[in-house]
């Protein structure tokens, strides 16, 4: 398989660990606190990697330019919105279904990438994305009867609105991160992707941390108390970020995110083995559809 596929699988695995850690800390840290640790605790790992890779690979750290700062700022803000909305979703749905709602970003990312970058997916990849979205609907109705009425009701609930907002935020920010990474010059793709990740977590920590200092100071303080698990969240988040950014620029956002839906299979595994949430037959059907979707993207 191509390098970008392996990197995408690594990103999905790391992101699954990060999400599980955030979900586990949410009762202690709150929505904002569980969101902040994904950024603040990633800083030391992200920047240690930047300087280590620069030294080992003989790569010069690129100079920031205006297009990079513009796009990385937009991406950082949109990722904050995504992270907070995803954590909020955990209060409404199971761990598996909460993550599934955010996966509507695959379709939205394809639209944003076509509009901003000009990359249009092939028919086969587009069909694979649609199959993946169908799998998401199965997951969204995993705990209720699969009827037309329930489907319609699920589309007008508060959690669906939050999920769509989460997906739109992630879809747009992934494309923005690709543009930011591509705008850097004077280094290889790994260095450019790593710098994008390092700069973004700095911005996100300052922005979200500043907001919490004014509006949720107790949650901010709690993030320092729960530092052990938060370190795992930060490390896995840093690994996921660099891998995603590398894959986005090495291939394209929409196909990468489609393959990245394998995260849902990882999530279902954690949901069953760790959180003891027994999968329904609809979740099993969704797993099969996701596998079909991913294979179609790889073959396409």
pLDDT digits (tens, 9 = 90+) for 75-91: 999 999 988 887 777 66
C-alpha distance from residue 14 to each of 9, 43, 95, 233 (Å): 9, 16, 16, 9
> Looking at the predicted structure, is the pLDDT value of residue 146 above 60?
no
14 close to 240: Cβ distance less than 8 angstroms: yes
- Give the domain ranges of the chain: 3-299
Percent of the chain with pLDDT over 90: 50
Whether residue 70 has pLDDT greater than 70: yes
With beta carbons less than 8 A apart as the criterion, state whether 293 and 129 touch.
yes
pLDDT of residue 102: 65
pLDDT tens-digit readout, 15-57: 889 988 998 898 999 989 999 999 999 999 999 999 999 999 9
**Residue 220, pLDDT score:** 96
Work out the average pLDDT over 231-252.
Answer: 95
Tens digits of residue pLDDT in 104-139: 788 888 889 988 988 888 888 889 888 887 887 676
How high is the mean pLDDT of the chain? 86
Task: Please name the residue that has the structure tokens 């690594």.
Answer: 10
Reported as a single tens digit per residue, the pLDDT across 157-198 is 677 677 778 888 989 999 999 999 999 998 999 999 999 999
pLDDT of residue 153: 63
């Amino acid at each position: 398989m191509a390098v970008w596929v392996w990197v995408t699988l690594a990103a999905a695995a790391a992101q699954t660990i990060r999400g599980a850690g955030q979900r586990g800390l949410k009762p202690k840290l709150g929505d904002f606190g569980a969101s902040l640790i994904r950024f603040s605790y990633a800083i030391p790992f992200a920047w240690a990697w930047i300087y280590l890779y620069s030294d080992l690979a003989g790569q010069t750290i690129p100079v920031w330019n205006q297009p990079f700062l513009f796009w990385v700022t937009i991406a950082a803000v949109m990722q904050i919105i995504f992270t907070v909305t995803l954590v909020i979703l955990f209060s409404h749905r199971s761990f598996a279904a909460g993550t599934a709602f955010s996966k509507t970003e695959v379709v939205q990312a394809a639209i944003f990438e076509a509009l901003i970058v000009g990359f249009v997916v092939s028919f086969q990849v587009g069909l694979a994305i649609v199959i993946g979205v169908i799998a998401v609907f199965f997951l969204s109705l995993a705990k209720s009867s699969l009827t037309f009425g329930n489907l319609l009701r699920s589309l007008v609930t508060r959690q669906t609105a939050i999920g769509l907002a989460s997906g739109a935020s992630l879809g747009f920010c992934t494309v923005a991160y690709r543009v930011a990474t591509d705008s850097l010059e004077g280094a290889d793709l790994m260095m450019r992707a790593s710098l994008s990740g390092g700069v973004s977590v700095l911005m996100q920590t300052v922005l979200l941390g500043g907001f919490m200092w004014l509006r949720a100071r107790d949650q901010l303080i709690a993030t320092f108390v729960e530092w052990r698990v938060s370190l795992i969240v930060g490390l896995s988040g840093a690994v996921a970020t660099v891998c995603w950014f590398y894959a986005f620029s090495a291939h394209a956002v929409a196909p990468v995110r489609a393959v990245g839906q394998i995260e849902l299979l990882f999530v279902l595994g954690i949901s069953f083995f760790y959180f003891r949430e027994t999968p329904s037959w609809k979740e099993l059907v969704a797993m099969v559809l996701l596998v079909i979707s991913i294979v179609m993207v790889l073959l396409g």
